[in-house]
Amino acid sequence: MIEPKPLASTAGYGQAAAALVEQYESVSFADVHRDVVHLFPSTPSAILDIGAGSGRDAAALARLGHRVLAVEPTAELRSLGRRLHAGQDIEWVDDALPELRVLRRRGQRFDLILLTAVWMHLDDQQRVLAMESIAGMLASQGHVVLSLRHGPVPAGRRMFDVTANETLELARGHGLNLVHLSEREDPLGRDGVRWSHLGLQQAASAP
């Protein structure tokens, strides 16, 4: 018996891109990030939005004067996001976790690294590699802000049951400390779905 090929982390997103963009844009940036917005830079800064989707968050941050680099591995979402937010100063990049090979070659550092509804798409090994990649691109005193989806997995998608505690332990292994943890209901009101929001920051160096 031939085993079915495992789903990729981006499975289902290209085919449903148009519907997903409409869904993403139906919820405001302010509502999605209300629990963690205090961790976002208050002055123009370098921001990396990994898994940028429709560009909703990247566009909102660009309007605030930030230099935003939006990483989106799904070509259909990247194309729609570019068109939808064409008026905003966003650099779109075709790259993907866990290695982020394109970005790591650049050697850039970011004051905020944002991963909204991304982390739970990665398997155990990928999360280990991805945390190393992210920690290596974080500027001194910068923040990593990520959200974890809990609940039923939509048909045709790949998601794992990733806890906040597991994510924190992995982050600590790369010199990142927890500065925020909260849980909330699903902004779209989907049955059984809830979210964890984590804020991570580089551990202070000993004097």
Per domain, the residue ranges of the chain are: 17-202
Taking only the tens place, the pLDDT of each residue in 179-198 is: 999 999 998 889 999 999 99
Q: Supply the pTM of this predicted model.
A: 0.90
Say if CB 118 and CB 50 are below 8 A apart: yes
**Quick one: pLDDT at residue 3?**
44
Which residues, given as ranges, of the chain have pLDDT below 70? 1-15, 204-207
**Quick one: pLDDT at residue 204?**
65
Separation between Cα atoms, residue 1 and residue 56, nearest integer Å: 44
* Beta-strand relationship, 110-115 and 138-150: parallel
Phi, psi of 106 (to 5 degrees): -75, -30
- Give every CB contact of residue 158 below 8 A, 6+ residues apart in sequence: 6, 7, 8, 9, 11, 12, 121
Whose tokens are 């002055």? That residue is 43
CA-closest candidate to residue 119, choices 56, 164, 59, 78 = 164
- Rg for the chain, CA atoms, rounded: 16
Cis peptide before 154 (omega within 30 of 0): no
**Quick one: pLDDT at residue 12?**
52
How many whole angstroms from its chain centre is CA 54?
12
**Quick one: pLDDT at residue 112?**
98
Burial 13-34 (b: 16+ CB within 10 A, else e): beebbeebbeebbeeebeebbe
Taking only the tens place, the pLDDT of each residue in 70-83 is: 999 988 999 999 99
CA dist 17 → 22, 114, 176 (Å): 9, 20, 33
Superfamily covering domain 17-202? Vaccinia Virus protein VP39 (3.40.50.150)
Which tokens in the block code for residue 126?
A: 């990928």
**Quick one: pLDDT at residue 202?**
87
**Quick one: pLDDT at residue 203?**
76
**Quick one: pLDDT at residue 156?**
81
Q: Which residues sit opposite 176 in a β-bridge?
A: 202
Say if CB 112 and CB 70 are below 8 A apart: no
